[in-house]
Amino acid sequence: MSKKTIMLICSAGMSTSLLVTKMQKAATEKSLDVDIFAVAASDADNQIASKTIDVVLLGPQVRFMEKQIEEKLAPKSIPSAVINMADYGTMNGEKVLNLALNLIKGA
């Protein structure tokens, strides 16, 4: 599998950075080549416009943005989903990584 880019969106980009670290650890354990990064909701549009992204995950705290993000991603055929609140709360990097990878496969 070629390198995949996973973008996480949260309200300020802070809490999600810990989840990114856990996801990267899970990816390393699976020998996957992924680029995972978190952005604040206010910077999401810039990132979508300027980067090649394979999947976008939204933190539960920005669930209200789901429709708006889907509309921006549709022309680029980029899948997206809201991260399960329990997985986010427990910082379950492996489950969130699997969610992202399954969305990429299904796209």
Examine the residue annotation and report whether 41 is marked as an active-site residue of this protein.
no
How many Cα neighbours within 13 Å face the side chain of 78?
Answer: 23
| Closest C-alpha to 62, from 15, 26, 4 | 15
Name the phi and psi angles at 51, rounded to 5. -120, 155
Q: Which of 9, 10, 41, 58 is catalytic?
A: 10
Name the phi and psi angles at 13, rounded to 5. 90, 0
Which residues are known catalytic residues? Answer: 10
